[in-house]
């Protein structure tokens, strides 16, 4: 049962002065424990080619770029995974640009490897991960069809897709005007289909790309509606736009610290009667990350000791020692989790292979 109306959540986003402190205190009372979680992962981009061309993107590369990852080989991926094993990583985060196989260069490479599409290749990469390493796959490659999700579910402990925002108006702005895959109807369909298939899922919103506060509210409520229907959303990311020199939106203003505080607080309150985690990426908020723990955030997301954040390459991860220090200084305890949250580690959500592997990893956390 939702305890807050859209009007209530909008009032949080519009709060000023002492009202901000009041809402933060209200959010804090819903904290169930003193734990802040993170997943130790390796970030592996299978390809950096994407059909979308978002105004804030630091991930996509042109196929003509000699440094672009057109398609990693299985041997390259396995080598990366074996390095991650040595560092105790338990999550293999596989990312790739949406519908990358529509690009001639990617399709040619897929054909050379004996594949017709990126989904089948990703399936085999994830199966290799399960068969030959101690890591659990988590794939995030944009929108997928129901059938593609159904296939990938068999070899992924969890999956993810950022909603970013539910407003179609943003398709006319620099953020998404050249990105057909950012149509919120497509994204909501993908998130819903993941729910129908019982895939433990990560989603979230991106703030600072031209949205209104009302559109933030609508986006959070869309996520809440899907969660209430399927129960598969394990965490919600509140991600802030960050400006870098080589993007179209390089002169676009970043959201303020108070914008982030209000949004994290609002999300915490909206999901206060659930066990959905609220996540804030620490590498995008290096100097301010601690304050979000006081707004209700309880997860740092994936943090890698071996790979960069390819989506945000100019924002390095804090080391685990630094992350521990930041967390404990704010009065909390840092604990490692798997990419799949414990409540989903059962035969309702996982097949036998994934259940056995997840259970064994959980025992040795």
Taking the C-alpha atoms of residue 142 and residue 163, their distance in angstroms, rounded to an integer, is: 10
Place of tokens 């094993």: 85
Q: Please name which of 57, 51, 182 lies closest in space to residue 106, comparing C-alpha atoms.
A: 51
N-terminal to C-terminal alpha carbon distance within the chain:
33
Token digits for 357?
A: 């592997």
Residue 295 assigned as binding residue = no
Token digits for 201?
A: 């899922």
- Give me the DSSP letters along 49-116: --S---TT-SS---TT-TT--S---HHHHHHHHHHHHHTT--EEEEEE-TTGGGSHHHHHHHHHHT-S
Q: Please name which of 340, 334, 365 lies closest in space to residue 354, comparing C-alpha atoms.
A: 340
Residue 126 assigned as binding residue = no
Residues that constitute the known binding site: 50, 54, 57
Residues that constitute the known binding site for [4Fe-4S] cluster: 50, 54, 57
């Amino acid at each position: 049962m939702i305890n807050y109306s859209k009007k209530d959540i909008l009032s949080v986003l519009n709060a000023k002065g002492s009202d901000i402190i009041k809402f933060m205190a209200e959010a804090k009372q819903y904290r169930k424990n003193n734990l802040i979680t993170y997943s130790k992962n390796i970030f592996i981009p299978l390809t950096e080619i994407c059909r979308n061309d978002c105004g804030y993107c630091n991930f996509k590369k042109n196929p003509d770029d000699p440094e672009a990852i057109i398609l990693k080989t299985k041997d390259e991926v396995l080598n990366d995974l074996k390095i991650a094993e040595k560092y105790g990583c338990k999550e293999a985060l596989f990312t790739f640009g949406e519908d990358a196989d529509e690009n001639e260069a990617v399709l040619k490479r897929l054909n050379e490897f004996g594949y017709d599409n990126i989904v089948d290749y990703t399936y085999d990469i994830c199966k290799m991960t399960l068969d030959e390493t101690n890591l659990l796959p988590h794939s995030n490659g944009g929108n997928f069809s129901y059938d593609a999700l159904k296939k990938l579910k068999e070899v992924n402990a969890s999956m993810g897709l950022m909603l970013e925002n539910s407003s179609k108006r943003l398709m006319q702005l620099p953020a998404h005007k050249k990105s057909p895959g950012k149509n919120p109807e497509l994204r909501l369909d993908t998130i819903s289909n993941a729910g129908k298939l019982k895939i433990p899922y990560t989603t979230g919103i991106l703030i600072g790309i031209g949205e209104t506060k009302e559109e933030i509210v609508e986006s959070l409520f869309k996520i809440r509606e899907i969660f209430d229907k399927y129960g598969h959303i394990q965490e919600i990311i509140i991600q802030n736009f960050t400006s870098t020199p080589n993007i179209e939106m390089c002169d676009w203003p970043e959201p303020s610290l108070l914008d982030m505080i209000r949004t994290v607080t609002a999300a915490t309150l909206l999901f206060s009667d659930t066990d959905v985690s609220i996540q804030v990426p620490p590498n995008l908020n290096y100097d301010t990350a601690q304050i979000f723990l006081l707004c209700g955030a309880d997860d740092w997301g994936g943090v890698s000791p071996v790979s960069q954040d390819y989506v945000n390459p100019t924002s390095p991860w804090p080391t685990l020692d630094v992350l521990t220090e930041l967390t404990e200084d704010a009065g909390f305890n840092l604990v490692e989790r798997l990419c799949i949250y414990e409540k989903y580690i059962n035969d309702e959500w996982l097949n036998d292979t994934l259940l056995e592997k997840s259970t064994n990893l959980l025992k040795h956390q």
